[in-house]
Structure 1
Amino acid sequence: MTNSTPRPIIDGQERSQGSLGTIQLVNPATEELIATLPSCGAEEAAEAARLSVDGFAQWSAISPFERSKVLRRAADLMRGEADEAAAEMTREGGKPLAQARGEWLASADLLDWYAEEGRRAYGRLIPTRASDMRWAVERRPVGPVAAFTPWNFPAWTVMQKVAPALAAGCSVVLKCAEETPGSGWRIGRALLAAGLPPRAISVIWGDPAAISSTLCAAPEIHKVTLTGSTRVGRLLASAAGQHLKKVTMELGGHNPVIVARDADLSTVVPLATEFKFRNAGQVCVSPTRFLVEKPLYADFVAGVTEAAGKLRVGDGLEADTQMGPLTTAGQLSKIEALAADAVQRGARIETGGSRIGNRGYFFQPTVLSGMTPEMDAMNEEPFGPLMLVMPVDDIDAALTEANRLPYGLASYAFTNSMSTERKISQNIHAGMLGLNHFAMAMPETPFGGVGDSGMGSEGGSEGMEAYLRPFLVSAKIG
């Protein structure tokens, strides 16, 4: 592992050239060129799909016990390069170095967890209707997988797919985000160095449309999994559906936070500030629409305004940075437009609201009060450092607004009342609910949404199920 520039990996070898030329990797904090990388397209996607059949045959033939050893060795190799991987993640995506390091190490933990879970993919025996019959259900890997991952969590979202797929015995063609390919590349190298068969994983990036259309149509690919926007999810799910491929889609969200009148603001305010502006708000489960009962509304707005105004924004490589830049210029433009629309429609900027400087994609941590449902930011996922605060009369009004959108990924509520907790948990339209906290993604727990936020779950035993299929053996004895 001597080369430090990300390169596509196919058939166990790093490619120095791509069929579509090159792409440029830019540091979002400085707008400086990091590297010029090979760009892949349909040619590499088709080759990786073909090779994945051999990779699947080799990898699935290895016992779960031995597969587990390979995955755990890879996790240890990942931990050994945590400092280099974190610095690379920060240069590519902008997130503060401590957050990048935490993500990398958590991804290694996720691989460890699935290494063990793969050893427990149990089948079952079914009582038969005749004494000379035996019914057994085995759980077998679905086959080669095409995995598409985003730029905001370039190690964790990769591992949410790669770890359970490999633990189940599948091979993987991984398509990384062009903005942040380094993490997927490093994960691929660690797996190969740990003993994964060379054709059991490919890592590519380049032309998203050419790669996705090729992989979704490739007869060798049996499953498609994506973390991305709802728009892209619809396109890939439709393409995969035309070929009757199994899919898992973890898509966009617009996550409500209900703050009840009995909530403890000394707890809510610092947590809300920390999690809203983590990774500059570029988190699919980021708390976004804060629906605050009117008795606490003024104090909540004052508290988060003060806390957000104190955040240190800067280059993620600087030790005291609490929030880095947005990852792309397009995301910066989108956030500027959403904030301007909200103000034009009557919202108030309590703090922030503007780009910082003219170099790098920095935007101030922003609190917008007086939000109303017709504002663009209350309907389109901001995916940036905008905290949207709306007063509500009561919990019923909060639930009405929380459930108004077709999204249903994460939801949150803060209350000290068990009856309020019960009411919210029974009526919220979401795949996940955090009560009195914001931490969601853990290796042991399912992660996924409903409605326009996707289908299927990643994480937990549910994440393994997505890469297994039941196989019935009905045997006549004697």
Structure 2
Amino acid sequence: MTVALPPTVAAHVPTGLLIGGEWRPAASGGTFEVRDPATTDVLFDVADGAEPDALDALTAAEEAFDEWRTVAPRERAELLRAVFEAITAHGEDIAAVITAEGGKPLAESRAEVAYGADYVRWFSEQAVRFDGLARRAPAGGSHQLVLRRPVGPALLIAPWNFPLAMMARKIAPALAAGCTAVVKPAQLTPLTTSFVAELFREQLAARGLPTGVLNVVPSSSARSISGPLLADPRLRKLSFTGSTEVGAALLKASADQILRTSMELGGNAPFLVFEDADVEAAVQGAVAAKMRNSGQTCVAANRFLVHESVVADFTAGLTEAFRDLVVGHGAEPGVTVGPLIEPSAVDRVEQVVDEAVDAGARVLVGGDRPRRPGYFYSPTVVDRVDPGTRLVSEEIFGPVAPVTTFADEDEAVTMANGTPFGLVAYAYTRDVGRVMRLAERVETGMLGVNRGMVSDASAPFGGVKASGLGREGGEAGLDEYLDPVYVAL
């Protein structure tokens, strides 16, 4: 059996709660298991936080906030830069942890380390660039100042699929703005979050800064953490990445305290291939947009909408590309597709594919579970898909590419917009005029043109409609943690 997590790395993975700068067990003494999804083996037992632990973490964050908010922006910037360098220095170890608990191939885990570290570097640079305003009032007789100050203690809830990157793009802007944080990592992948949180703790302690700035409370019950914290008036900010259903429930729970909220929620990304597209490039982009983390990303291409004149070439190319993918344990050399995260994920993907086939769809490659340990589903291409099936109406979150056709640009836009979601869309075309029309007409927060990836620390990441509120990354990412204060002189 492949050993996904070397003992030298495992020895440095914290498994407790980080509260006030100290790693400790849960108040109840309880733990929960973290498993390798490629083997189903137990990796670690992790402290199982609950309400008392969450409130202790918020107390630590509140106490640290009084000092942290007064720390010079330059000093906060230098802290984040040091954490960026620490993440980079420990990159191989972090990648091993990501692969062990999340299953993605090592090459993808290394890419996540670089991507997540880039958020820390970006916000280290933004920490000294708060915008403000000083001007004479238009009516005369007074002057206007607009200052910006940190919102306050924040609850940051990260998803399982990118345990470093999604955590980094919340923690880094929060700390850069002068906020403190309680982090709730995902139950399925808490180890990466804890490993990197220790790097933050070390750098805070080395500088004599309050270590309660960052607190981490893993738990098998997200509600036992979020419920009491959202009801506590000391909390002033919530940032959540996850499903639209959970996001909606958290928004409702945030209403009583009128919390500032950021929500990066579900998607149903269209991948548009027009008649003038470079089909070979579109196939390569489709593999990148679909298969990162075995399709388990919120920005994964979910519906492949292809002009009827090029659909045969595109589908043949995509089928061949999927057939060449190598399924296996992410730590094995040459593997390009890892497992899904848990058994229920495999069950759901299998169900939606079977339903589509029963409705007349055709499986061109895949459509089954490989005979091996772990939670795997084969890379799958399906065409002749009924648009009413769940395979195209819901987010798949798995390695399945359903292909449908359109006749013209208007139909393509109508199909692309025919969903409650609007996180990201992809388009392959050589027509610059069409690109500008799509930017105006497609209901999405992000548009990738002739490329299968859009994420960048320096750009605003987020969606519209049921895909969320607010933005992470770019200059906008810092705004989420700052309140403007207007002073009339």
TM norm structure 1: 0.97
Aligned match for 2:469, one of 448, 455, 476: 455
In the alignment, structure 1 residue 21 sits paired with structure 2 residue 35: no
Q: Where do 5+ consecutive residues of structure 2 fail to align?
A: 1-8
Equivalent pair of 1:95/1:280 in contact (CA under 8 Å)? yes
Counterpart CA distance in 2 for 1:4 and 1:297 is 48
> What is the CA deviation profile of residues 369-411 of structure 1, one whole-angstrom value per residue up to 9, with x for unaligned ones?
1122211111111111010110111111111111011100000
Equivalent pair of 1:19/1:44 in contact (CA under 8 Å)? no
Tell me how far 1:189 sits from its aligned partner.
1.0
> What is the CA deviation profile of residues 325-354 of structure 1, one whole-angstrom value per residue up to 9, with x for unaligned ones?
011111111111111111011111000011
In the alignment, structure 1 residue 231 sits paired with structure 2 residue 245: yes
Equivalent pair of 1:371/1:389 in contact (CA under 8 Å)? yes
How do 1:112-191 and structure 2 match up within 5 A? Answer: 112-128=121-137, 133-191=142-200
Other-structure match for 2:4? none
Equivalent pair of 2:127/2:177 in contact (CA under 8 Å)? yes
Other-structure match for 1:210? 224
Aligned match for 1:100, one of 104, 109, 116: 109
Equivalent pair of 2:288/2:453 in contact (CA under 8 Å)? no
Counterpart CA distance in 1 for 2:297 and 2:457 is 17
Other-structure match for 1:199? 212
Q: Which moved more, 1:19-28 or 1:65-74?
A: 19-28
For 2:377, the aligned partner's letter is F
C-alpha spacing 1:423/1:129, structure 2 compared with 1 (3 Å)? closer
Aligned match for 1:336, one of 331, 343, 350: 350
> What is the CA deviation profile of residues 270-322 of structure 1, one whole-angstrom value per residue up to 9, with x for unaligned ones?
22123311110001101110100100011111110011001001000012110
Other-structure match for 1:67? 76
Other-structure match for 1:424? 438
C-alpha spacing 1:184/1:4, structure 2 compared with 1 (3 Å)? closer
Other-structure match for 1:36? 45
Q: Which moved more, 1:270-279 or 1:236-245?
A: 270-279
For 1:250, the aligned partner's letter is E
In the alignment, structure 1 residue 256 sits paired with structure 2 residue 270: yes
Equivalent pair of 2:280/2:314 in contact (CA under 8 Å)? no
For 1:116, the aligned partner's letter is E
Counterpart CA distance in 2 for 1:129 and 1:412 is 44
Equivalent pair of 1:52/1:220 in contact (CA under 8 Å)? no
Tell me how far 1:40 sits from its aligned partner.
0.5
Equivalent pair of 2:15/2:45 in contact (CA under 8 Å)? no
Counterpart CA distance in 2 for 1:390 and 1:8 is 48
> What is the CA deviation profile of residues 347-368 of structure 1, one whole-angstrom value per residue up to 9, with x for unaligned ones?
1100001111151001100001
Counterpart CA distance in 1 for 2:323 and 2:442 is 31
Q: Where do 5+ consecutive residues of structure 1 fail to align?
A: none
For 1:344, the aligned partner's letter is D
For 1:243, the aligned partner's letter is Q
Other-structure match for 2:362? 348
> What is the CA deviation profile of residues 187-207 of structure 1, one whole-angstrom value per residue up to 9, with x for unaligned ones?
211111112521111011111
C-alpha spacing 1:26/1:18, structure 2 compared with 1 (3 Å)? farther
Counterpart CA distance in 1 for 2:74 and 2:57 is 26
> What is the CA deviation profile of residues 87-136 of structure 1, one whole-angstrom value per residue up to 9, with x for unaligned ones?
01100000001111111122112101101101000211021368774421
3-state DSSP of counterpart to 1:140: strand
Aligned-residue RMSD, C-alpha: 1.4
Other-structure match for 1:440? 454
Identity score, percent: 37
In the alignment, structure 1 residue 366 sits paired with structure 2 residue 375: no
Equivalent pair of 2:13/2:191 in contact (CA under 8 Å)? no
Other-structure match for 2:66? 57
Other-structure match for 1:296? 310
Counterpart CA distance in 1 for 2:268 and 2:74 is 41
Equivalent pair of 2:14/2:23 in contact (CA under 8 Å)? no
Equivalent pair of 2:14/2:195 in contact (CA under 8 Å)? no
C-alpha spacing 1:97/1:18, structure 2 compared with 1 (3 Å)? farther
Tell me how far 1:80 sits from its aligned partner.
1.5
C-alpha spacing 1:419/1:21, structure 2 compared with 1 (3 Å)? same
